Chain A
Amino acid sequence: DAKTTQPTSMDCAEGRAANLPCNHSTISGNEYVYWYRQIHSQGPQYIIHGLKNNETNEMASLIITEDRKSSTLILPHATLRDTAVYYCIVSSYSGAGSYQLTFGKGTKLSVIP
């Protein structure tokens, strides 16, 4: 079973910040939180990941609560091209250098003009 829960859908006005929440209350100490997005029928695209500290890159920011049981992905200025399904994933080590990403149902983000 997926280890994360996310809202099914969200709307965001173009130009505004999109804040996507994720609950991962059973996360273990060495498990990372990853965010990917998938635009219709394309392969999932990596956005950002983190362990316990907040992270920022050119696409987004990731805020992880101190107890690590939840996180929020922030797209600072949403554009129409950010319309996609966003997946919050907790990785698990599956041995010999491989990591298993188990996808939950994701959040369908619609950016509205």
Chain B
Amino acid sequence: DTEVTQTPKHLVMGMTNKKSLKCEQHMGHRAMYWYKQKAKKPPELMFVYSYEKLSINESVPSRFSPECPNSSLLNLHLHALQPEDSALYLCASSQGFDDYGYTFGSGTRLTVV
């Protein structure tokens, strides 16, 4: 298995809802990442998990809450989002040094109404 699987592919949520995005990989990668991509912009790093511990938080608002229950799974919990949080959320994983960089999932298209 050489893929990063993200679910759901599309999500519409209201500003008072609580929802979660899920990311899964079975390549034995020990680092996992969340990126946010607005339309016509490059992806921006949000969080980095290494060996199931949060190692980087790029000053992301607390309405985004990451979780890494095990080495294969990464969640992003969403609460009280704003319409400007609508974006493509990308998950990625990596093994380590001198590897083929990241493997990205196909993303979750989030719309906040």
Contacts and interface: CB of A to CB of B under 8 A. Distances in A.
A104 B42 contact: yes
B50 A96 contact: yes
Interface in A77-113: 87, 91, 93-106
A105 B42 contact: yes
Interface stretch (B14-22, B73-81, B95-103): B95-103
Interface in A21-46: 32, 34, 36, 41-46
Contacts of B43: 44, 103
Contacts of A101: 45, 101-102
Contacts, number: 79
Contacts of A68: none
Interface centre among A32, A46, A96, A98 (most CB of B within 10 A): A98
Interface string B84-113: 000010101011111011111111010000
Nearest to A34: B101
A97 B48 CA distance: 11
Nearest to B44: A103
Interface string B39-60: 0001111001111010110000
B55 A106 contact: no
A43 B25 CA distance: 15
A34 B92 CA distance: 15
Contacts of A99: 31, 94, 96-97, 101-102
Interface of B: 4, 30-31, 33, 42-45, 48-51, 53, 55-56, 88, 90, 92, 94-98, 100-107, 109
User: Which 7 pairs show the lowest CB-CB distances between chains A and B?
Assistant: A43-B104, A98-B31, A103-B42, A96-B50, A98-B50, A97-B96, A43-B106
